[in-house]
Structure 1
């Protein structure tokens, strides 16, 4: 397959159930954010099959690698009619984030992110205009070096978001941070991790899960040694649309597809979103 093919094109494909892909206006974004845990080709295909069953039209895939498994996943999604967008430099790094869409057009945001862990796209259709930023934040290695690396990445990412921010911004993926009042308390997270989370909210973003589950105690990564953690997030600005649903799906963990739960978020869109997208666009 050529390099251009790896980047993805919108094919006239059918879904796993043989249904024709919708050609009409999209009135909601069904976003599935999943840390795919660096799959081999066999697990990559199983993950693709699972993703298709969710009926999501927007996928944010984190902990992708430019390996045989990662490339297989991109190709398999393309064969199912998804357009895949990978950030600049994705072939030359250990980890990257990919965005895949079906039924909505995805145009890379300029300027692009400073690291392939960031995939920023404008999603557009007749009824859709959303600026989506997929993120795979640096892992908490619980060392001073890890803390410094995370802090600098978080600072640069907030600066980048401020640069490209508009009224329809959404951020989704494995941010590798937890909210300040997370339960259980996790002493390995530091002040800058909590400041990163609150800094995202300060940009006008709403934590979709917390918005619908004020007292919810779900976690997306479960570990008896390091504590259960809600690391995967979907953050949505008011201008992007109404948060209709947001929930963690743990079948990705129980079926050994990933060590993370998937986060499924539905955003209801309005017909005039396209006009709103011009406000503050970079």
Structure 2
């Protein structure tokens, strides 16, 4: 990848960035975004937007080992992010990345392949486990359903062993909640069960916690219906949820086809 592309992306993106870009010491600012395997041009725009989000935790899904994805990864590393990539990420299939800044991280092994990656980050002497996940896409075929069901089962088995008192799970899970509006016939019972099984394991849907009655969507399709596919689940001990919203700027500006999920947690004992 040409060095001038990386440098252009970095320095071009920071000129107009607000001066206050550092989260408070007790804040976890999480951005989960499906970056849709960007071209080099979109990768520069993606990198600029991610840096301007002022997040210290990034969960990026739908990456492939392309020049665009490598530019995003290299650019984040150059800006002080520690980027964790799953084993096998360069093998050609989709993968997920977790990047953190100002939070020492330790990779955690997981058995579900490059679609999931886990790290432990340290804050004030305690560890918070962050798991990024890109669930298999709903292809609306029997084969697609079988693949999703098998993946969901394997991931839940892994999550059961990987649970910690302080844990965040974020990414494009490619499932929707029961009672989703509008109703979506293309999702099956095992998709809804995956969502509810996360709750049974003690994880809370951060957006639903912040907005109990709001019908919001992170991926919009005239053909398949508006869908809330991108999620952040957290254990109650992970931190105090201060805000959780979908930012549609990446989608409406055609950087990617998904909205970003932005959440802020206050760390430490509840006020």
TM-score of the two chains, using structure 1 as the length reference:
0.87
Q: CA RMSD in A?
A: 2.0
Q: 1:70 aligned to 2:69? A: yes
Q: Which of the numbers 234, 245, 248 marks the counterpart of 1:247?
A: 245
Equivalent in the alignment of 1:27:
26
Equivalent in the alignment of 2:223:
225
Equivalent in the alignment of 2:8:
none
Equivalent in the alignment of 2:41:
42
Moved more, 256-265 or 24-33: 24-33
Q: Secondary structure in 2 aligned to 1:243?
A: strand
Q: 1:92 aligned to 2:84? A: no
Q: Which of the numbers 174, 181, 186 marks the counterpart of 1:183?
A: 181
Q: In structure 2, how many angstroms separate the alpha carbons of the residues matched to 1:250 and 1:25? A: 25
Equivalent in the alignment of 1:6:
none
Q: Which of the numbers 151, 154, 157 marks the counterpart of 1:153?
A: 151
Cα displacement (A) at 1:114: 2.1
Cα displacement (A) at 1:45: 1.1
Q: Secondary structure in 2 aligned to 1:267?
A: strand
Q: In structure 2, how many angstroms separate the alpha carbons of the residues matched to 1:54 and 1:140? A: 29
Report if the CA contact (8 A) 1:27-1:128 is conserved: no
Equivalent in the alignment of 1:83:
82
CA distance 1:20–1:212, change in 2 (3 Å): closer
Q: Secondary structure in 2 aligned to 1:215?
A: coil
Gaps of 5+ in 1: 2-14, 273-282
Report if the CA contact (8 A) 2:84-2:117 is conserved: yes
Equivalent in the alignment of 1:192:
190
Report if the CA contact (8 A) 1:93-1:116 is conserved: no
Q: 1:137 aligned to 2:135? A: yes
Q: In structure 2, how many angstroms separate the alpha carbons of the residues matched to 1:74 and 1:227? A: 32
Cα displacement (A) at 1:42: 1.4
Report if the CA contact (8 A) 1:27-1:127 is conserved: no
Cα displacement (A) at 1:126: 2.5
Moved more, 183-192 or 120-129: 120-129
CA distance 1:79–1:197, change in 2 (3 Å): same
Q: Secondary structure in 2 aligned to 1:247?
A: strand
1:19-68 Cα offsets, whole Å, 9 max, x none, are: 6986x983011000000001011111111100111100000000011111
CA distance 1:223–1:126, change in 2 (3 Å): same
Number of aligned positions between the proteins: 258
Q: Which of the numbers 171, 174, 194 marks the counterpart of 1:173?
A: 171
TM-score of the two chains, using structure 2 as the length reference:
0.90
Q: Secondary structure in 2 aligned to 1:156?
A: helix
Q: Secondary structure in 2 aligned to 1:94?
A: coil
CA distance 1:113–1:268, change in 2 (3 Å): farther
Q: Secondary structure in 2 aligned to 1:178?
A: coil
Cα displacement (A) at 1:128: 5.4
CA distance 1:200–1:46, change in 2 (3 Å): same
Equivalent in the alignment of 1:10:
none
Cα displacement (A) at 1:261: 0.2
Equivalent in the alignment of 1:106:
105
